[in-house]
Structure 1
Amino acid sequence: MRARRTVAALAATGSILATLWALRAFNRLPPRELDEDAFPPRHDSVSPLRTAAEDAAKGHDGHSGIHLLADANDAFAARILLARQAKRHLDLQYYIWHGDRTGTLLLEEVHSAAERGVQVRLLLDDNGISGLDTILSALDRHPNIEVRLFNPFRIRFPKAAGFALDFGRLNRRMHNKSFIVDDAATIVGGRNIGDEYFGAGDGGLFADLDALAIGPVVASVIADFDRYWDCSSSYPASQILPLVSEAQRRKLTRRASLVEKDPSARQFVERITSLPIVQSLLEGTLELTWAEVELISDDPAKACGDVDSDGLLATQLLETLGNPTREMFVVAGYFVPGDTVTRSLCDMASSGVAVSVLTNSFAATDVKLVHAGYAQTRKELLQSGVRLFEMYGTTHASTSRKERRRGSRLGIGSTLRGSGTGSTAALRSHASTLHAKTFSVDGERLFIGSFNLDPRSIELNTELGFVIHSPDLAKQVGSVFERLAPAAAYELRLQEDGRLSWVERHDDEEIVHTEEPNMTLGDHLMIGVAQRLPIQWLL
């Protein structure tokens, strides 16, 4: 009997090992097969948008024109209107693209552009497109659309299985966000594509921030898009996604029509028709700040773990922003400074630099483990003189979850979203949650992009952003910080006994919390355990 059980156990073990081997073999990526004739060679071509951008740039000494998109509705409308204006090329690069209201409407604009002859390149990180395999495969079959997936999963559902089989590769993602139209205008910043990134119009700068740019920096964004498009981690969708009929594209058009007619989406549609931003750009009347603008980004080889420090955005950011001598403002939705960055910020503050940081409170963040990585640095930062502000949490989470489910039903995506795709992003649909990534130095230089001050942005994900040498914009961000941070966030202080307190302000009244707001005993236990685990490099 014992022998039989031993044989059965060995057989079961062998079966499990064989299954794991088969899954690992299936999960391996195939050799890339590129269709070199997918699009004809790209030549300079004239379009009204390009002509307007070139005319506007004349007389500005090689500087680029920047228009900040702080309002969430405006940021969505600008993308739609620019896509409608496209005559030659659309190049879009994103970490997350949801199949909800805004994601559906923008995909339909991409499809409509292709229908009128625009060449579209769509580069998406494969971790952020859950539920879109069918429609992306259908779009990829359009003669004017090519879709590539960055660092793709072979197992399409559930994608989490891929992490179990090849965690080292799949844990590295493309976090870049760029939107390029007719080689003439671009939008770079912190927003992905989805309702939670465009639904909050009352939080402005502290919800999220993009920069619309024209001028010389656009060529840099195009070149950077090209090197990601051509890198070994970007696979043609036709090699990864199941083949579907072209008739699937009609589903997109039908769904987009339903979204436009739905009362809950009316604010988006009305904003599209009323915003004059693109027309003002064409007419030369759009308010632009002209400045030296540098694009900085990670080498796409970072996704393979094969890049030296010179190829990292973090290194370039230090070089281009320089050492602050007077003040530094940090706005980061995910702030996990770690030992090195914490020491650097403490040294700045101790030397007399006014360092201020705005991040999410525990109640506001949508990734609770990130709070564990940040919380253990607070006392050290405060002791050195760094000012810390934590965004108030939303009180409407249940309502926003209902709205998100409604948005998914209206759109062409799935309500089942993969890890890291904002599946708990209901919190982000309110301005009381922070997603922006902005740094201002000495009232002279400003960074806007996808880079968070956390280990994941520094070591694992690829990132992209602008360093803008503009006292006007840098001071504007500093002024907004000083005016709004105390009204929108708790200010942290150290009590005489060394414990933390959270100061909440309403008009002239201060409410001092001596316990961390909106945290239960279970939350405290979870954070305490997480702080003792060696997971900070993952956050």
Structure 2
Amino acid sequence: MQGFWRLKFRQLLTEIGCPVFGTAILVFALVFVPPSETHAGGAPLCSQIFVEVKTIDARETFTAADVEVRTAVEQNRAQVKALLSADEALMAKLLAIRSAKQTLDISYYIFSRDKGGYLILNEVKEAVKRGVTVRLMVDSVGSMHITHTELLALIQMSQKEGMGKIEIVTINPWTTLPRALARIGHMLTGRRSETVDSQVSLNNRSHDKILLVDAATPEMLAIIGSRNIADGYFGLNRDGREAFRDVELMIRPPAGEANTAISDVLQTYYNRLFSNYLNKALAEKLYRFFRVDYTFEVDRMEKTYEEYVAQETVRNRLAEMQNQDFLKTGFEDSAAGLVHEIQNLTHDKEHFVQRWKYWRRQANPDSLMRSLKESILNAKKKVTIVSPYPLLGKRDIRMLKIWLLKNPQAEFELIANSTATNDSFVTQAVFDQYVAPALLKLKQDPAIGDRLRVYSYHGLDAQKPELKGNLLHAKIAIIDGKDVLIGTSNFDPRSRIHNSEMGVWLDGAQTVEQFQSYSNSLIAKSYSWGAPEWHQAREKGWGKYQQILQQYIYRLTEALGGIHML
């Protein structure tokens, strides 16, 4: 009976939660936010960025103070292979974990307690039984749960004789009472606790997504990209579709060499994540619930896997991948350079301006965002950016204009979500009311024109137009068709100054071409932002009301100062 009422309560929240929240925002905006004097005729709202951008000419340049160009990212030889399809990505992870002989290192922002999560945990369980040493990290916000009984089950199982060692930590948890009280006290009084980390912000999140098998050995295999562990990323939804369009990358050391440099780099990075002093070992919860037997979670893992492989298509594909030696064949030689924003995990500046200043002056030399800016400034032909939430700021747009004016043959294209596919309505409101109009304003300069293109991904299938388009979640940057960055960063302020992010620069010709083709396939399912078909799509269904809500969300965000921080 308790489960029945819990289900009814969730359904009630789903049905009335969003309308009530949206109505509250509308009322607040209408009552407290003054109308924008610059808004007219339904045109997208925009800030004073146009005044700043239009004064730029080709003679301007960036000084070291404007863009602190990083030192060259360390490049290591590696073998790489793209994982573009959802089902293949899941099966590759299962086979990779199954192949582990010594160590297994895993970290994901979202590790859901659904079919996809239990399939991965079942393989981790089997690895522990084989004596493999396992380290697992989950973010305390992205993978929020009160008890994490599925993870405690693995710890409990590992304490039996003959099992491998497993360590599980939650990253920067806010659920511990002493830390929460200390941080509240710090916010109210300004006094920092001497015994509890009270000043480090709860905004410091690990957005990393990495799977390392037998790290720091010649047999190392890494899977890096932007896919989380959840049904929607693996096509395990009820309709069998991939809810999120996403990409990943497999990395191995060079074939036939004793060179383990890339393995060492990735292992060192994971060690830094795992040993962060803000992490909390999940094993401590065992002492609170030591009388509980978590065998039921182990049974669920096994049952989930049995149901998965009971499907003939799954069985056949797994067998085919094993016969083809999928984890070792089809790789391409490439340089691989790791970039990241790990310094954000221990950032103790609460205020946005303080964080921004710190990022500009003291960011690590292998900063992902700094490496991207430098790569764009050095590009000569074409830059393609794919991101679900690309909240570019005034300086970013100013940089793009300077770069386009200095390179008359260069092109820039940006592929982002639309209101039909985005899962963050506030972010989409800022993009549609601020970022996209600012970029299109640049096109009015005859020297730029159509060399700058902004696409709004709708994800609709021409064969099944009745189905809603899947959400774009991939994060890709392609420079001159020669280099590609695959990682976790959304190329937005949060990724720049709050989250720990990671990515890898590659130059393998075949791999770059694969991701360029992938980007082109996204464009084929996109509208040009601001085009007639884009406007028509926004008028369908609840589109008109979404546009009104977007405007008020933007006005509220601008009134609170959020826009001027970009």
TM-based fold match above 0.5: yes
| 1:328 aligned to which of 345, 369, 383 | 383
Determine if contact 1:330/1:356 at 8 Å carries over to the other structure.
Answer: yes
Identify the range of structure 1 (177-186 vs 312-321) with the bigger mean alpha-carbon deviation: 312-321
Deviation, structure 1 residue 249: 4.0
- Per-residue CA distance 1:331-369 (angstroms, 9 max, x = gap): 001111121222222333344321001110012110111
Cα pair distance change 1:480/1:108, threshold 3 Å? closer
Paired amino acid for 2:490:
N
Identify the range of structure 1 (229-238 vs 74-83) with the bigger mean alpha-carbon deviation: 229-238
Cα pair distance change 1:211/1:253, threshold 3 Å? same
Task: Give the ranges of 4+ consecutive aligned residues of structure 1 lying more than 6 Å apart after TM superposition.
Answer: 161-168, 200-206
Paired amino acid for 1:534:
G
Matched, 1:535 2:557: no
Determine if contact 2:375/2:479 at 8 Å carries over to the other structure.
Answer: no
Determine if contact 1:321/1:441 at 8 Å carries over to the other structure.
Answer: yes
| 2:296 aligned to which of 251, 272, 288 | 251
Matched, 1:299 2:353: no
Matched, 1:485 2:519: no
Deviation, structure 1 residue 203: 8.6
Name the structure 2 match of 1:412: none
Name the structure 2 match of 1:171: 203
Secondary structure in 1 matching 2:428:
helix
Determine if contact 2:309/2:315 at 8 Å carries over to the other structure.
Answer: no
Name the structure 2 match of 1:95: 109
Determine if contact 1:347/1:384 at 8 Å carries over to the other structure.
Answer: no
Deviation, structure 1 residue 233: 2.1
**Distance (Å, rounded) in 2 between the aligned partners of 1:268 and 1:148:** 35
**Structure 2 counterparts to residues 372-391 of structure 1, below 5 A:** 372-375=429-432, 376-385=434-443, 386-391=452-457
Name the structure 1 match of 2:400: 345
Name the structure 2 match of 1:423: none
Identify the range of structure 1 (328-337 vs 227-236) with the bigger mean alpha-carbon deviation: 227-236
**Structure 2 counterparts to residues 173-212 of structure 1, below 5 A:** 173-183=205-215, 184-199=220-235, 207-212=245-250
Identify the range of structure 1 (204-213 vs 466-475) with the bigger mean alpha-carbon deviation: 204-213
Determine if contact 1:154/1:162 at 8 Å carries over to the other structure.
Answer: no
> What is the TM-score when the length of structure 2 is the normalising length?
0.67
Number of residues of Structure 1 aligned to a counterpart in Structure 2: 428
> What is the TM-score when the length of structure 1 is the normalising length?
0.71
**Structure 2 counterparts to residues 139-538 of structure 1, below 5 A:** 139-141=154-156, 142-143=158-159, 144-155=165-176, 169-183=201-215, 184-199=220-235, 207-215=245-253, 216-239=261-284, 243-245=288-290, 248-262=293-307, 266=311, 269-270=314-315, 273-276=318-321, 280-281=325-326, 286-300=329-343, 302-305=345-348, 308-310=362-364, 312-319=367-374, 323-351=378-406, 352=408, 353-375=410-432, 376-385=434-443, 386-392=452-458, 432-482=470-520, 484-492=521-529, 500-503=530-533, 519-521=543-545, 522-532=548-558, 533-536=560-563
Any stretches of 5+ residues in structure 2 without a counterpart?
1-74, 160-164, 188-197, 254-260, 350-357, 444-451, 462-466
Paired amino acid for 1:135:
E
Paired amino acid for 2:80:
I
Cα pair distance change 1:443/1:516, threshold 3 Å? farther
Secondary structure in 2 matching 1:225:
helix
| 2:80 aligned to which of 55, 66, 69 | 66
**Distance (Å, rounded) in 2 between the aligned partners of 1:342 and 1:70:** 30
**Distance (Å, rounded) in 2 between the aligned partners of 1:221 and 1:445:** 20
Paired amino acid for 2:148:
D
**Distance (Å, rounded) in 2 between the aligned partners of 1:185 and 1:441:** 26
Secondary structure in 1 matching 2:82:
strand
Determine if contact 2:200/2:347 at 8 Å carries over to the other structure.
Answer: no
**Distance (Å, rounded) in 1 between the aligned partners of 2:377 and 2:459:** 33
Secondary structure in 2 matching 1:280:
coil
Deviation, structure 1 residue 513: 5.6
Name the structure 2 match of 1:134: 149
Deviation, structure 1 residue 108: 1.6
Determine if contact 1:204/1:431 at 8 Å carries over to the other structure.
Answer: no
**Distance (Å, rounded) in 2 between the aligned partners of 1:297 and 1:525:** 34
Determine if contact 2:76/2:337 at 8 Å carries over to the other structure.
Answer: no
